Amino acid sequence: MPMRRLLNLPLLVILMGIATAAMLVPAAYAFAHRDYPVGRAFAYGALIFSILTGMIALATANWQPRDARHSHLKALVGAYLVLPLMLAVPLNEAVRDTSFVNAWFEMLSSFTTTGATVYETPGRLSDSLHLWRALVGWLGGFFILLMGVAVLLPMNLGGMEVLAGRGTPGAGAPQITRIADPSQRVTRFAVQLFPAYAGFTLVLWCGLVLMGEAGFRALCLAMATVSTSGIMPGGNAGVSGSGIPGEILIALFLLPAITRRAYPAGPALGERARSLPHDPELRMAAAIVFVVTGVLFLRHWVGAIENAEGQNLVSFLRVLWGTAFTTLSFLTTTGLPSSQWAAAQLWSGLETHGLILLGLAMIGGGVATTAGGVKLLRVYALFRHGQREMERLIHPHSIGGQGTVARRLRGEGARLAWVFFMLFAVSIAVIVAALTLTGQGFDQSLILAISALSTTGPIASFAGESAVLFSALGTPAKLVLGFAMVLGRVEALALLALLAPEQWRK
């Protein structure tokens, strides 16, 4: 009975309780390593916020939402507004030479799985604080995964509107709302998804340790991979101790960021008859990785073929793998570069392909996954629509086949995908304009806008001629990027459905 009463609390209050409990993890780690100032900061933060959360829970124990379907959508947006402020308090206390704005930006970046950091200097943060950043990113990845499956998909949001076709974004599916309310769906999918989410992290952690990665770094790398946050201690150095075998293992665990079918609840969420090898998102991701890897590698190889190094088969394979892994990493908005990525640049003597990396981050990963960006399913719908239009140029009176679902995907689904793509492009333009008003250059503003909207913070270190440092930004620019990170994580269609639900339903 007490557990049922806890689950009946508003979702935002439950999230506050989970965030408070999470503060005990870095506190225990800091005390175990005799980092007492950091341990006290997190222990006191957990104590203060446990009291605050308990008081709010008592005040809202009998609260009933007017609109159950949109209450959890409001909680989704509210979580990104409230929780980073809570999470920043112990970080601000633990790091004496910082400001609360920097601590808030760091926690918002971690919770949205963006991975942009204002603490780029090596040694600036202790391992306890790096653990806190990685843990917040890991919890933020599971949060958006759970909300995507339990809240956004039933409301034809988050990419599901492409499959639904004629469904109205934000209106929801009547057959689902009659079976279970959003609270029951959140609880049921949390029970289904968390064991797999935590299990993937544990298996990857153990695998990286066995391959030679240091234990603490392997843990952060495992959490950064499964959550696609890319948060690593000491910057975006990627894999170090485990080398290429570790990268191969990480590539396997990036699969859940491409297709929702990698999780237990995935096959029940649309296109149930399709198997994993026939998943359109997985096939689209494979095609993109193959094409981009081929283009990038050929450019590298042409630059190095005149040298003896360009004729070395071992170097040839290493650079090929490094290009493929980096492409996959940025496509899933993780942003972890391969250990061979720098070697590929030195091998050819060419600069980083910033625009290609930005394009990969914009495309993003799968629907109802931890990845951000436009999403592969929307790109697939636009591709199928273009393919069908090319067929009609040759045979104007032909009829598209492959069933009702395929026709709906090529038609109304492609139209909705194009609407979202235009909203995403307009969002980039607005954020770039806002950043230029804060004094940033156009190139820098474009990189920062795409990194925030696609939740790929590490790309700021690789897309330009020189790394863009978030610590060098002023407070107005950080506020603009904070808004962009929330917009990129929640998506514009969800915000429109939240602001005007009656108009969407009509």
Statement: the pTM of the whole predicted model exceeds 0.85 = yes
Per-residue tokens: 159: 């990419």
- Euclidean distance between CA atoms 12 and 75, whole angstroms: 6
pLDDT at 205 (0 to 100): 96
In the chain, what is the greatest distance between 2 CA atoms, to the nearest angstrom?
76
How many other CB atoms are there within 10 angstroms of residue 286's CB atom?
A: 14
Place of tokens 């929801």: 172
Q: Quickly list H helices, 174-263.
A: 174-179, 182-210, 215-226, 243-253
> In terms of Cα–Cα distance, which of 42, 48, 37 is closest to 24?
42
CA 81 to each of CA 12, 112, 155: distance values in angstroms, whole numbers, following the listed order:
11, 11, 22
pLDDT at 1 (0 to 100): 40
Higher pLDDT residue, 360 or 297? 360
pLDDT at 308 (0 to 100): 56
Per-residue tokens: 153: 């998909």
- Euclidean distance between CA atoms 182 and 189, whole angstroms: 10
Share of the chain above pLDDT 90, in %: 53
For residue 354, pLDDT beyond 70:
yes
Tens of pLDDT along 411-457?
788 888 898 999 999 999 999 999 999 999 999 999 999 999 999 99
- Euclidean distance between CA atoms 296 and 304, whole angstroms: 13
CA 417 to each of CA 14, 222, 281, 356, 403: distance values in angstroms, whole numbers, following the listed order:
33, 32, 14, 21, 20
Of the pLDDT bands very low, low, confident and very high (cuts 50, 70, 90), residue 302 is low
CA 414 to each of CA 8, 149, 152: distance values in angstroms, whole numbers, following the listed order:
38, 21, 19
Computed over every residue of the chain, the mean pLDDT equals 85
